[in-house]
Amino acid sequence: MIERRPALGKGLSALIQEPPEPPHQGALDIDIDLLAPNEQQPRMHMDEAGLADLAKSIKANGVLQPILVRRVGGSYRIIAGERRWRAAQRAGFLKVPVVVRDVPEESDQQLLELALVENLQREDLNPVDEALAYQRLAEEFALTQEQIAAAVGKDRSSVANYLRLLKLPEEVRGDLASGAISMGHARALLALPDPAAQRHAAREIIARALSVREAESLVKRLTTPSPPPRLDTARPEGDVHTRAAEDRMRFALGTKVRIVRHGHGGTIHVEFGSESELNRLYERLTDTR
């Protein structure tokens, strides 16, 4: 049985109690066609491959965890468990086990909280969906971060960190939702100054399979200002084109780059911090990967 977090919002704990062992005790077997999705479902991304795997598991073992529903007339609206319901449909099931909860039909906030908390307890949401659910609680129901934290059993700083993920560009949020990068990687990317830099660094992290620590080092290199030029090689005041070229090369190569002009010519300095980084730069510059 999943251990319950102690800090659920008022009324939520009683509504989402896990059914006692065995898993289906207290559950009803309902025609699968009588169930409908929850409009307040916090899960925005349903991975097709994962759904297919779950359908195979359900076909072999059945629906082990009842679906949480509320009664709406002669049918049932899913509070939590839409993924299990869809997988059971794929597996050809005609009935699924459900646990019915008494939730007021007009309580959209409570429905969202219930679905969110149930998924969190099952560790069943990716970070982007979790962040979007928190955003909905804040924007649609005017909840503060402290109120959201109390409702889902987390501290306020954790909720704030999830909400910050929504500042990342859509492409990077997609990488996070799919698992291509982790929450630690995403938090490191937030230190970069603009979406283009974040997208480039995310591609670098994925291509090189960087750890979170390595990603933090990459971001640090990209955000560390270049040392001031020597007096004899100082660039003209306001040489914005040279600085822009340095920035683009720095993000393209993932390391600090310095352009030093000598009359009509000059040199390009590319820094590396290790033998492996030198090899990476060599492959990048010579296209020998």
Question: In angstroms, how far apart are the furthest CA atoms of the chain?
Answer: 84
Confirm if 111 and 40 have CB atoms less than 8 A apart. Answer: yes
Contacts of residue 128, Cβ cutoff 8 Å, sequence gap at least 6: 44, 45, 165, 166, 173, 174, 176, 177
Kindly report the CATH class assigned to 12-124: alpha beta
Q: What is the dihedral of CA 189, 260, 271, 252, to 10 degrees?
A: 40
Phi, psi of 149 (to 5 degrees): -60, -40
Confidence of residue 171 (pLDDT cuts 50, 70, 90): very high
SS3 of 223-235: the string is: HCCCCCCCHHHCC
The more confident residue out of 106 and 114 is 114
Q: Catalytic site residue 39? A: no
How far apart, in whole angstroms, are the C-alpha atoms of residue 230 and residue 232? 5
Per-residue pLDDT reduced to its tens digit, 128-152:
988 988 888 888 778 899 988 887 7
Decide: 124 and 50 in contact? Cβ < 8 Å: no
CA distance 252 to 197: 9
Q: What is the pLDDT of residues 173-229, one digit of tens each?
A: 999 988 999 999 999 999 998 888 899 889 989 988 899 999 998 898 888 765 655
* Whole-number pLDDT of residue 80: 79
Q: Residue 14: which pLDDT band, with cuts at 50, 70 and 90?
A: very low
Burial class (CB in 10 A: 0-12, 13-18, 19+), 129: buried
- For the chain, give every domain's residue range: 12-124, 227-289
Q: In sequence order, which residues have a C-beta less than 8 Å from that of residue 29 and are 6 or more positions away? A: 95, 96, 97, 98
pLDDT at residue 231 tops 60: no
The phi and psi torsions of 227 (rounded to 5 degrees) equal -65, 150
Catalytic residue among 3, 21, 48, 82, which? Answer: 82
> Per residue in 57-92, pLDDT tens?
888 888 888 888 888 888 888 887 888 888 999 999
* Contacts of residue 24, Cβ cutoff 8 Å, sequence gap at least 6: 66, 97
Distance CA 256, CA 235 (A): 17
